[in-house]
Structure 1
């Protein structure tokens, strides 16, 4: 079988695997997770598919490597947004701005790199592992830390803390998907930014607002559960 790409035969140990991962990430960036295949990655890396199969048993393993690479880039975008924050003396303002920056970094990455963003949530994503097994440097731990900061600052009560990180995650992720694959895809940049601003604002105000009266909260939870 012939190929127009040059075939390389002088990789040091481990170099080809990394080259294939980079190629898979570039394929995902251009065309999303469906474009990641052993054959396409091998062609991009300048080797035969047979050589690629020495490092990846099949398509799923390569896609998982590309997915993890995409997750790392998403996390880097969130942390870069945090690094750009100006210092705030008030602990509540500081914690809320951290939450907003994380949302901004997430949203920015989704719109700038839709192929990689979709890849980050494909393949063997599986359930979240136990908290003790989640790396401190992960994007999810960064989000959890921001929500915990709101509790430490006295803005979010301990009673309302459970699952708050999922609420924040779902709000920004859902908004990103509405822009990428939904009815908001044609909005101009200014309207997109405003939608994110309002999402973060409403979420933040809701976290610190007064709790519902007990009977109203119980009824609301019943409705949410479908009862």
Structure 2
């Protein structure tokens, strides 16, 4: 059985895991999970009791949840492609550190803005959440801009899974217009380069349910029921 990635729509952070699987090039399947209804339903909670995406069912049917864990799993399979590094090496530690920053600080900065949008905040609550979220998002962009410097990729000369995870979160400024990425020229350069990447274009098309051409190992979609029966 090929691994199956359960990805959330619209615009889930699982986007980065789709990009990573494309870069890996090994066969995999996708299962589309609607948010918030389907992802919190009883059927999906049998796979992920927390009711969040992404989740990866590996080739043996074992479930792996949380983006950081999934990306490290993919990275371990993609060492030969430069996507990940052997545990115990300095490069592994650097990658894990960057993934952890993206998974905590960068991701979480958008939390107040998502809460305001998804819970219909208004009045003083909306004003407070927006002000706080905007400040957090600007702060993490400034921090990541400093980390990136003049490097072509987040970790340096080599593209890694950190870049795949970055693009899935960075695009959220399309929903939350609290900054102009052009104020962060390094991140704008990285964002534009990733948006032109075939794997990123593929992931966008998958989310939009448009014709999607895989340069990786995508073998097709399965329904949640089919994935559960084969998992």
Would the TM-score normalized by the shorter structure come out above 0.5? no
Bigger helix share: 1
- Normalising by the smaller structure, the TM-score range is under 0.3
Bigger strand share: 2
> How high is the TM-score relative to the length of structure 2?
0.26
Of structures 1 and 2, the one scoring higher in RCO (CA 8 A, sep 6+) is: 2
